[in-house]
Amino acid sequence: MDNAVRARRAARDALADIEPERLREVLRDRLADASMTPSVLTLVSATALDAAVDADPLAERAAGVQLIYEGLRLTRTLAHDEPWAEGEGEAARRADLDILAADVLVSRGFYLLARTETADRAVEVVRAFGRNQTRRREADADRTALDRALEADVFALAVAAGTTAVDVDPGEDLLDYAADLAREFEGDLPPPDTALPETAADRILALAGGDAPSAADP
């Protein structure tokens, strides 16, 4: 099964018990249109180090990373668009449901990562997101950099969730590599086959093993 398909299925399965149905539809629609890059990066980070890793627990970790990202990404969109500014119209009513969906996404993501080695890192991702969105209101803020910090933090979380699934602690070089991958993009993340280079697994293996390729290497 393709990594993106496996990741999307795991994320949807994690939300299968959410009620009411209207909220579950919003969550499903969100995942249907989402780039699965964070969760695929989790899968790649684990399988690069151990091809025989247990697939089900790994898929749960990948789903946890993806759901946290989707929840925070939705929160960021709502904060920027301010759909309530025009009063109690249809956009505001939809935004009320979206806010609830964002909370559910993040909380379910936390639940999936709660008993993993990356639980504290996941909490810090959310805290950093809140700090950055607050700083974004300052007059001299670099809003683009502050927004893109979410993707950088989530990519680092994805790598950590994957490597620790096979009992490997990610070093700073590997975490920096993951964060730098995210900073290459503007706007919405592209799909995994575009966002992640073909060399990603090899780089992860090398950096996790302490034998990083030189800067001149492709």
Question: Is 10 a domain residue?
Answer: yes
**DSSP 3-state of 147:** helix
- As to burial, measured by CB atoms within 10 angstroms (0-12 exposed, 13-18 middle, 19+ buried), residue 165 is buried
Model confidence at 158, pLDDT cuts 50, 70, 90, reads: very high
Alpha carbon of 3 to those of 10, 26, 130, 141: distances in Å? Answer: 10, 23, 30, 37
Per-residue model confidence (pLDDT) at position 215: 39
CA distance linking residue 42 with residue 5, whole number of Å: 14
Model confidence at 10, pLDDT cuts 50, 70, 90, reads: very high
Per-residue model confidence (pLDDT) at position 101: 96
Question: Is 214 a domain residue?
Answer: no
Quote the mean pLDDT of the chain: 90
Question: Is 212 a domain residue?
Answer: no
Q: Whole domain around residue 45: which residue ranges?
A: 3-206
- Looking at per-residue pLDDT, the higher value among 68 and 210 belongs to 68
Return the CATH number at 34: 1.10.600.10
Average pLDDT of the segment spanning 24-31: 93
**DSSP 3-state of 206:** helix
Residue that has been written with the tokens 């950055």 in this structure: 132
Per-residue model confidence (pLDDT) at position 1: 56
Question: Is 215 a domain residue?
Answer: no
Model confidence at 213, pLDDT cuts 50, 70, 90, reads: very low
Average pLDDT of the segment spanning 136-141: 88
Model confidence at 87, pLDDT cuts 50, 70, 90, reads: low
CA distance linking residue 3 with residue 8, whole number of Å: 9
- Domain count of the fold of the chain: 1
Query: Is pLDDT above 70 for 210?
Result: no
The model's pTM: 0.91
Query: Is pLDDT above 50 for 121?
Result: yes
Average pLDDT of the segment spanning 53-80: 94
Question: Is 141 a domain residue?
Answer: yes
Rounded to 10 degrees, the C-alpha dihedral 81/84/86/90 comes to 100
Average pLDDT of the segment spanning 26-50: 95
Question: Is 81 a domain residue?
Answer: yes
Question: Is 183 a domain residue?
Answer: yes
The residue length of the chain stands at: 218
Lowest-confidence segment of 20-24, 157-161, 185-189, 193-197 by average pLDDT: 185-189
Question: Is 115 a domain residue?
Answer: yes
